[in-house]
């Protein structure tokens, strides 16, 4: 009897693993289930020619951010600064600024997005989203969010087209 229960439990566990694996494989690259890996450039749909790559991250950048500017505030209790280094390449026509083509935010297991209202203040080597970039050009820099410490292990970078009203989101691993 005990052996049958163990076998049934093992079969159920295997079925769950297979189901999760199949569901993940069926998800498109860039979805929350299959985020774009580090060091991989990915075209942001509807962004008029931008592609983004996450280069690296510093999950606890609090000391670096506080040292960058004397007027930066400490993160709230239970939070820390999470800095992500990105490169954005413009492949559209003419020129553009990342501000008009891209919006950066972050998401962890709390399922509440961190956006520009959760920024860190003055960030070391900050990503300049107002810089004009001509076709074929790239800009790199850090985006930073004040995040709940409990979200750190699961934090993904979310990128969507700037000024977009559709649900186009691309998720990137941050480590």
Say how far apart CA 14 and CA 40 lie, in whole Å.
31
Say how far apart CA 125 and CA 36 lie, in whole Å.
23
What does the pLDDT profile of the chain (175 residues) look like in tens digits? 555 544 544 444 444 444 444 444 579 999 999 999 999 999 999 998 999 999 999 999 999 999 999 999 999 999 999 999 999 999 999 999 999 889 999 999 999 999 999 999 999 999 999 999 999 999 999 999 999 999 999 999 999 998 766 678 999 999 9
**Closest alpha carbon to 48 in 104, 86, 89:** 89
As a dihedral over the C-alpha atoms of residue 52, residue 56, residue 60, residue 62, rounded to 10 degrees, the angle is -70
What is the side-by-side strand order in the sheet with 79-90?
42-43, 50-58, 79-90, 138-148
Q: What is the pLDDT of residue 3?
A: 52
For 35-173, CATH gives 2.60.40.1240
Q: What pairs with residue 171 in β-bridges?
A: 158
Q: What is the pLDDT of residue 166?
A: 65
Q: What is the pLDDT of residue 162?
A: 81
Domain locations in the chain as residue ranges: 1-29, 35-173
- Residue 119 to residues 44, 52, 106: CA-CA distances in angstroms? 22, 19, 11
3-class DSSP state of 113: coil
């Amino acid at each position: 009897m005990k052996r049958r229960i163990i076998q049934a439990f093992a079969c159920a566990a295997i079925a769950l693993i297979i189901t999760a694996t199949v569901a993940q494989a069926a998800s498109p690259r860039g979805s929350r289930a299959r985020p774009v890996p580090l060091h991989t450039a990915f075209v942001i749909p509807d962004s008029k020619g931008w592609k983004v790559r996450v280069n690296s991250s510093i999950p606890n950048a609090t000391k670096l951010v506080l040292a960058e500017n004397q007027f930066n505030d400490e993160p709230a209790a239970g939070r820390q600064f999470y800095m992500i280094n990105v490169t954005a390449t413009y492949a559209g026509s003419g020129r553009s600024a990342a501000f008009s083509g891209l919006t950066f935010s972050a998401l962890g297991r709390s399922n509440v997005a961190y956006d520009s209202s959760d920024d860190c203040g003055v960030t070391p080597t900050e990503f300049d989203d107002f810089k004009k970039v001509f076709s074929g050009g790239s800009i790199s820099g850090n985006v930073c969010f004040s995040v709940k410490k409990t979200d750190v292990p699961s934090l993904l970078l979310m990128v969507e087209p700037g000024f977009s009203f559709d649900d186009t989101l691309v998720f990137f691993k941050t480590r």
